[in-house]
Amino acid sequence: MKRYGHGLVLGKFYPPHAGHHHLVETARDRCERLTVLVCAASVESVPLADRVAWMREAHPDVTVVGAVDDTHMDVHDPAVWDAHMAVFTAAV
């Protein structure tokens, strides 16, 4: 039996690298099910669809979803964090 029920890995995967894959594999090994949330801003040079496809190909045994998050970054503003959380929640 695995230690956790449902795990979540969130990242930009811009692009995905060995560390990202290790994180996903470790989480997968410890969770009954795992969701990977790929986030991207619409202005980034590598499209969200490509990153989602890469992660799905590398990790076919987990759920991979994508979300565009164009909310600006401000770690000191709770309203900005709430906006990011709304994107994350809608995606999963």
pLDDT digits (tens, 9 = 90+) for 27-49: 999 999 999 999 999 999 999 99
pLDDT digits (tens, 9 = 90+) for 39-90: 999 999 999 999 999 999 999 999 999 999 999 999 899 999 999 999 999 9
Q: Pairing mode, if any, of strands 31-40 and 63-68?
A: parallel
What is the rounded CA–CA span in Å between residue 47 and residue 40? 8
* pLDDT score at 1: 75
pLDDT of residue 2 exceeding 90? no
Homologous superfamily, domain 4-91: HUPs (3.40.50.620)
76 SS3 class: coil
